[in-house]
């Protein structure tokens, strides 16, 4: 559990996306306060959130994971020694496309991607079926907690 409020570094590299910084900060603070429910939560330190296009995230995917395909979220671990929790890079295009295709709310879908990255930093993995089910359950719990303060109203 974090004693001090987490510092968020938010980089919006997506044209037309409006990032509700105050609400996003509040949502992540809720998760930090309930970190014990999520394997101790995201490590302490500054958390960097980057909102990108599919093209930009695919470039990162290729450069750092040798996979040039589009993906939804890429998470980079931080360095506690210098006060960095990690960085979560999300594709706004993928969130919008998935939300449309599945008739879901865009703001909730994009918030889910941020939560997904936060959970990766908390030690969750989703590459194996059993671990993926644990990740999905944690995502659902996290979104329920966030709903108590309201999903950040992202707009494109």
Task: State residue 4 phi and psi, 5-degree precision.
Answer: -95, 150
Tokens of 3: 């004693």
Residues facing 46 on adjacent strands: 84
Q: Say whether 34 counts as a known binding-site residue.
A: no
Tokens of 91: 């594709």
Q: Say whether 120 counts as a known binding-site residue.
A: yes
| DSSP, res 155 | B
Tokens of 15: 């044209």
Q: Say whether 126 counts as a known binding-site residue.
A: yes
Binding residues for Zn(2+): 116, 120, 126
């Amino acid at each position: 559990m974090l004693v001090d409020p987490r510092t968020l570094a938010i980089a919006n590299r997506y044209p037309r996306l409006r990032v509700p910084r105050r609400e996003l900060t509040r949502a992540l603070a809720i998760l930090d306060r309930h970190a014990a429910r999520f394997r101790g939560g995201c490590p302490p330190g500054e958390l960097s959130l980057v909102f990108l296009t599919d093209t930009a995230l695919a470039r990162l995917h290729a450069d750092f994971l040798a996979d040039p395909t589009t993906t939804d979220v890429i998470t980079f671990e931080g360095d506690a020694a210098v006060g960095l929790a990690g960085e979560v890079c999300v594709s706004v295009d993928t969130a919008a496309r998935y939300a449309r295709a599945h008739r879901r709310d865009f703001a909730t879908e994009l918030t889910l991607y941020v939560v997904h990255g936060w959970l990766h930093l908390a030690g969750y993995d989703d590459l194996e079926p059993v671990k993926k089910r644990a990740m999905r359950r944690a995502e659902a719990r996290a979104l329920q907690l966030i709903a108590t303060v309201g999903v950040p109203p992202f707009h494109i």
